[in-house]
């Protein structure tokens, strides 16, 4: 396959929506699939609003935004992926869920199409081995929020061939983003460094070293971070933070990656951050209020 013209996205959550957004602006035809029509409708609305915001700021032309939205199709039917040259899985960070999606995709995808995962921590080699095209499988880890963040981590599994890697680099270039190639180790580069920092911030809160506000203020002003680690955790999603820490802890077998018990409790409570209106901050009012 010499050229990618149509890209399929499986999963209409925050990441899938963002990936579809940048791919459509990049000139690709985009097929978005999700089991939930409600999520697909929310994805369409969020994408339209985000493009309108970009146009109002002059980041893109309104005509380009309008054309991009027309290039996107939304469906609960996975069968539409038969028309995709590349399918990017952007489901929740759960290996069983991802494997089930790949199993379903195999029965509908073109035999020459590429397959990618947006996993932020799981083994690309292991995921690839569960498919019928491990040599045409690669990790494409977009950063959140996708329309804003410039980096895409490229992760080759042991089986990934050179044509697939070159395809991925070409895609990133066309989307006007920058790639960093990471080896297939747990959590790759960004999350291998970022998530333990967030986890340590939660430990500092858990042990009473500082309050939510003081920890975030200290890192914003003392380390010049654009947002504090607990605010960032809420933005990423506490369930995602916990999932990545569990992968690091289980696969590297080092106690320094043990998830903080307080992080576990917040996830058990359903306080997952911004998407749940409560995490380390309560977002239900006009301004966020620390929950501890």
Q: Which residues are catalytic?
A: 120, 141, 153, 191
Contact status, residue 258 vs residue 264, Cβ threshold 8 Å: no
Angle (deg, nearest 10), helices 238-252 and 261-269:
140
Q: What is the largest CA-CA distance in the chain?
A: 57
Query: Quick one: tokens of 282?
Result: 């309560």
CA distance readout (Å), 186 to 30, 57, 92, 124: 30, 38, 16, 9
- Segment (H or E) for 57: none
CA distance readout (Å), 95 to 90, 100, 121: 12, 9, 10
Q: Which residue carries 């999350």 as its tokens?
A: 191
Angle (deg, nearest 10), helices 190-206 and 229-236:
120
Angle (deg, nearest 10), helices 229-236 and 238-252:
100
Residue 159 and residue 153: Cα distance in Å, rounded?
17
Under the phi-then-psi rule, with left for phi > 0, alpha for psi from -120 to 50, and beta for the rest, what region is 11? left
Residue 32 and residue 16: Cα distance in Å, rounded?
8
């Amino acid at each position: 396959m010499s050229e990618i013209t149509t890209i399929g996205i499986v999963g209409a959550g925050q990441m899938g929506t963002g990936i579809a957004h940048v791919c459509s602006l990049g000139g690709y035809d985009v097929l978005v699939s999700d089991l939930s029509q409600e999520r697909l409708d929310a994805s369409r609305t969020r994408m339209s609003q985000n493009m309108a915001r970009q146009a109002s700021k002059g980041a893109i032309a309104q005509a380009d935004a309008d054309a991009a939205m027309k290039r996107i199709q939304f469906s609960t039917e996975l069968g539409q992926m038969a028309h995709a040259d590349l399918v990017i899985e952007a489901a929740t960070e759960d290996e069983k869920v991802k494997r089930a999606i790949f199993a379903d995709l195999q029965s509908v995808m073109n035999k020459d199409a590429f397959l990618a995962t947006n996993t932020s921590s799981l083994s690309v080699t292991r995921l690839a081995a569960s498919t019928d095209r491990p040599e045409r499988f690669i990790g494409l880890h977009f950063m959140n929020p996708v329309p804003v963040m410039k980096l895409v981590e490229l992760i080759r599994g042991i089986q990934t061939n050179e044509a697939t890697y070159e395809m991925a680099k070409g895609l990133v270039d066309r989307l006007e983003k920058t790639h960093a190639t990471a080896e297939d180790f747990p959590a790759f580069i960004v999350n291998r460094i970022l998530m333990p920092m967030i986890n340590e911030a939660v430990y500092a809160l858990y042990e009473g070293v500082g309050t939510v506000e003081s920890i975030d203020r200290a890192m914003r002003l003392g380390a010049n971070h654009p947002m504090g680690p607990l605010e960032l955790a809420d933005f990423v999603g506490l369930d995602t933070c916990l999932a990545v820490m569990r992968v690091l802890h289980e696969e590297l077998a080092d106690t320094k990656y043990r998830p903080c018990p307080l992080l576990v409790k917040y996830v058990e409570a359903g306080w997952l951050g911004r998407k749940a209106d409560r995490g380390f901050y309560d977002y239900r009012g006009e301004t966020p209020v620390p929950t501890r």
